[in-house]
A and B are shown apart, each in its own frame.
Chain A
């Protein structure tokens, strides 16, 4: 009896649980699913053959391809549109690698806004034309590129205590921020 009761309980629980919300998707794709233009640009810019992982991403509206690879000991994420045209490059950097003046501006914002904070993930984002982005990688040139910083940080105020993702411009001024929603931890806690 107990066993039958349990099975029924499980079935009921599962039944009322299935209401799929599916908008954000990021999945691994094979190289041959990526537009030729993207592969060619990547080959020209990064030259040497290297291990590249390809992903398809969508937030429900915009769809992009993303290549992830290591270059000069940094993790690069290169975003392409669906036609294979490069859009931007994000490079994962350490706190001390941010330009000193920019870092000061970012820190002063955090000090003013939060009683406690810590930076967890910093990416410098370069946006521009394919040729200019290529020059950044193979010639280290910054000409015509827009620079911004995407920073994930923990910030505590008197009333709020959250993980944030802030976008800062080339000089370190905050452009916008959003709360990073942490996924449920019920399966890790109980």
Chain B
């Protein structure tokens, strides 16, 4: 449990600067379900949802629950080698205002160390709106996974997962950058069930003048495979 404190302190430190920027805090549960349809092909469904509790843009600094958005995603993936996987996916986003459709293409590369694992993910996606033009994003995520008991991650043991993702986005000649840093404590129940609990710190509007935004999500993720 000491790791969770460590992670929390790390994120608190990150948040001490820039009091004038917009800051949002909330809960972010997510769950994914993966199953193989053949030796090479697999299907993954994922649901994730953001629930805001605090927004510095509101007049009084009270906690107030707000359903920000819910994403429903489905992917079909092909394993090209034991270390390389390509996926195409679709996302339906339920959000106040306008629900959107998104298409996703990604390649993930697994790097195995003597005791750790690193996953590299290169993803591009396109979000479609009724009125506005399509939003294009290109993103790269690196995620490391380190066992906390011994050198091998065995059923019933725990791990630490740290990731960072950089996102470049462009919509009708306006572009922006977003960064997502996460740290989570993982419960490796067995190879078909994993739980990750941690924090997801997102900063965006880097390229938009006077509008830098921080979002801190308390994340709860469940990964199930059949």
**Number of CB contacts from chain A to chain B under 8 A:** 121
Give the CA-CA distance A24 to B151 in the complex, in Å: 13
Selected from B73, B143, B193, the residue in CB contact (under 8 A) with A188 is B143
Give the CA-CA distance A189 to B110 in the complex, in Å: 9
Most B-side CB within 10 Å, residue of A55, A68, A186:
A186
CB distance from B217 to the nearest CB of A (A): 14
Known contacts A20-B189, A189-B85, A190-B44: does B150 contact A26 (CB below 8 Å)? yes
- Contacting B at CB under 8 A, from A6-26, are 6, 9-10, 13-14, 17-22, 24-26
In the complex, are the beta carbons of A10 and B31 less than 8 A apart? yes
Chain A residue at minimum C-beta to C-beta distance from B34? A186
Selected from A22, A183, A189, the residue in CB contact (under 8 A) with B153 is A183
CB distance from A185 to the nearest CB of B (A): 6
CB distance from B206 to the nearest CB of A (A): 25
Size band of the interface chain B makes with A: 35 or more
Q: Which of A30-38, A127-135, A156-164 lines the interface with chain B?
A: A156-164
Selected from B87, B157, B225, the residue in CB contact (under 8 A) with A184 is B225
- Contacting B at CB under 8 A, from A153-183, are 154, 156, 161-163, 182-183
In the complex, are the beta carbons of B191 and A184 less than 8 A apart? yes
In the complex, are the beta carbons of B110 and A186 less than 8 A apart? no
Give the CA-CA distance A169 to B106 in the complex, in Å: 42
Selected from A2, A6, A186, the residue in CB contact (under 8 A) with B225 is A186
CB-CB < 8 A to B139: which residues of A?
A: none
Give the CA-CA distance A186 to B161 in the complex, in Å: 13
Task: Assess whether A111 is interfacial by the CB under 8 Å rule.
Answer: no
Task: Assess whether B222 is interfacial by the CB under 8 Å rule.
Answer: yes
Selected from B31, B51, B121, B190, the residue in CB contact (under 8 A) with A9 is B31
Give the CA-CA distance A9 to B186 in the complex, in Å: 20
Task: Assess whether B126 is interfacial by the CB under 8 Å rule.
Answer: no
Instruction: Using CB atoms and an 8 Å cutoff, list the residues of chain A in contact with chain B.
Output: 2-3, 6, 9-10, 13-14, 17-22, 24-28, 55, 68, 120, 154, 156, 161-163, 182-190
Contacts A10-B220, A25-B154, A27-B150 known; 15 new A-B pairs at CB < 8 A: A3-B51, A13-B31, A14-B195, A18-B193, A20-B190, A28-B149, A184-B191, A185-B85, A185-B110, A187-B119, A187-B221, A188-B119, A188-B121, A189-B106, A190-B46
Closest 6 pairs (CB-CB, A-B): A188-B119, A17-B193, A189-B108, A27-B150, A26-B150, A26-B152
Query: Can you list 5 pairs linking A and B with CB atoms under 8 Å apart?
Result: A9-B47, A24-B152, A26-B151, A27-B157, A188-B121
